[in-house]
Amino acid sequence: MYDFTPLRDDIPNGDVLLPGDDGYEELLQRWSAACAKRAAAVVLPINSQEVSTAVRFAVSNRIPMTVCGGGHSSSGASSTEDMVVDLRKMRKVKVNAEAMTVEFEGGCLWEDVDTALERHGLATVGGVVNHTGVGGLTLGGGHGFLTPRHGLTIDNLLKAEVVLADGTIVEASEDTNRDLFWAIRGAGAQFGVVTRFVSRAHRQDKVWSGTLAYSADKLPDLLHFANVLYGRPNSEGHCFALGIGFGPDETSRVVSAIPLYHGSEVDAKRYFSGLLEIEEIADDTEMMTTAKTNTLLNSVMDHGIRRLMGPGNITMPLDIEPMLQTAEKFWKFCESHDGMGKSVLAIEFFPTDKIREVPQDATAYANRGDYYDAMTSFAWENPAYDSEIRQFNRNLFWA
C-alpha cells in the first residue's frame, strides 16, 4: 500500500483523492464502464506544475501511473489500480483570432475547444464526438470531419507543453525539442504528460450536415453511392460518414449517414444528390456550424455502458459484396446478445489527400495511406460478454 500523504502536502491547490473520500467513486467512471478500475489514488492537478509534482512522486516511489483526460480509451489506458493523474480541472481555452491559433489545456474536451472557436467563426480539426478528450485523440493522430479539408489534428498542432518522466516541463515544437515534437504527433502518450496544446485555427462558415437514416435494405445503394462519390473531384473537403447499426428502439436494423458539405444548401443537395435520391426514413439535415456537426453522434456514443472500439481500414472503390457480408455478421452478432443496440460499425468516407500531403516520416503517425477508416464501436451491459465481444471484434475484419 502506498502512502500518499506527502503528495497531498505537495499539491496545494489541486486534490488527491483516496478510496473512501468524497468524490472518489465519481472519478473512477469512464466512457466505457468495462474500463473502470479502483485506483489507489486519483490526483487532480490544476496546472502543469502540479502535474510535474505528481509525476515526480510516482517515479520516485515506483508507483505505476496513468493519465486521464476525457476517459474515452476503450482499451483501459486511462485507468489503473495504482495512481491516476486526472486532468479534468485543466480545461482552459484561449483563442487568438488574429494569429488564427487556439491554446487548450490537456483536460479539455473537444466541446470546450469547439465552443470557444465557434464564437470567433473559427474551427480546428477535432473529434467527431465532442465529449471526447483532446489529449488521447490528438496524440494518436486525430481524425475529424475537418480532416479532409485541413488534415489530421497533429498536422494542425503548432506546439505542446509536456511533462517528462523526471518532472521537467518542456515545450515541444518545430523549433524546440524537435525530436519530442515528432514523437508526440502519433505516439505521444509514450513520452510524457501533455498539459497544453497550441493548434492552428481556420476560418469556418456554416456547413450543410445532419443525419439521414435508412432501412437496412438500402445499404447496397449507400455503398454504391460511396464509390460514385470517391470518383469525383473533391478539393473542398466534402465528406460523409456511414453507420451500420440500430434505430432508437435498439432492435431495428438501421443505416445512418452524416454528410458534410462546405457551401450552400442548394449546392450541397446537388453534390449529394445520389445520397438524397435513396429513400430515407428520417432526415434532419440543415445548415449548421461544424461544432454542431460534432454533436450528432453524442447520443449513440454516450457514457455509462461497456464499450469497445476496434480499428480497420478499407480501400476504394469498395468491393460491395464483402462489405455486405461483414455488415450481416455484425448485425447478427449484436442481435444474438442482449443490450447491444447502441453498437455501430462505422466507415468514414473522408478524402485522404490532405493527410497524404504530409510526408510519411514527418511525424510518428504511421497511417498516411490512401485508405479510409472503418471502425467498430461495440456497446453492451453484461460483463459476461466481455471476452466474446473482444474476440469477435478482433476477427470481424480479418475472418
Give the mean model confidence (pLDDT) for residues 209-223: 99
Would you give the DSSP letter of residue 136?
H
Give pLDDT, residue 189.
Answer: 77
pLDDT tens, position by position, 119-145: 999 999 999 999 999 999 999 999 999
Please give the model's pTM, rounded to 2 decimal places: 0.96
Answer with the residue of higher pLDDT: 382 or 366: 382
Answer yes or no: CATH 3.30.43.10 is held by domain 7-86.
yes
Give pLDDT, residue 398.
Answer: 62
Report strand pairing: 207-209 vs 286-288: antiparallel
pLDDT tens, position by position, 246-263: 999 999 999 999 999 999
Going by C-alpha positions, the residue among 54, 38, 35 that lies closest to residue 46 is: 54
Same fold, 7-86 and 93-203: no
Q: Which fold has domain 207-396?
A: Vanillyl-alcohol Oxidase; Chain A, domain 3 (3.40.462)
pLDDT tens, position by position, 80-100: 999 999 999 999 999 999 999
Give pLDDT, residue 14.
Answer: 87
Give the mean model confidence (pLDDT) for residues 390-398: 88
Ramachandran sector of residue 146 (left: φ over 0; alpha: ψ -120 to 50; beta: rest): alpha
* Cell numbers that stand for 111 in this block: 466541446
Going by C-alpha positions, the residue among 321, 289, 258 that lies closest to residue 117 is: 289
Domain segments of the chain as ranges:
7-86, 93-203, 207-396
Would you say 256 and 243 are in contact if contact means Cβ atoms under 8 Å apart?
yes
Give the mean model confidence (pLDDT) for residues 174-200: 96
In which band, very low, low, confident or very high, does the pLDDT at 244 lie, cut at 50, 70 and 90?
very high
Give the mean model confidence (pLDDT) for residues 212-241: 97
Give pLDDT, residue 399.
Answer: 54
Q: What percentage of the chain has pLDDT greater than the value 90?
A: 94
Phi first, then psi, for residue 191 (nearest 5°) are: -120, -5
Give pLDDT, residue 188.
Answer: 78
Going by C-alpha positions, the residue among 244, 264, 266 that lies closest to residue 255 is: 244
pLDDT tens, position by position, 56-66: 999 999 999 99
Give pLDDT, residue 256.
Answer: 98
In which band, very low, low, confident or very high, does the pLDDT at 75 lie, cut at 50, 70 and 90?
confident
Going by C-alpha positions, the residue among 147, 95, 143 that lies closest to residue 119 is: 95
pLDDT tens, position by position, 11-30: 988 899 999 999 999 999 99
pLDDT tens, position by position, 292-329: 999 999 999 999 899 999 989 999 999 999 999 999 99
For all residues of the chain together, what is the average pLDDT?
A: 96
Measured distance CA(68)–CA(222) in Å, rounded: 38
Q: What percentage of the chain has pLDDT greater than the value 70?
A: 99
The CATH classification of domain 93-203, taken from the options 3.30.530.20, 3.90.79.10, 3.30.465.10, 3.40.50.300: 3.30.465.10
In which band, very low, low, confident or very high, does the pLDDT at 269 lie, cut at 50, 70 and 90?
very high
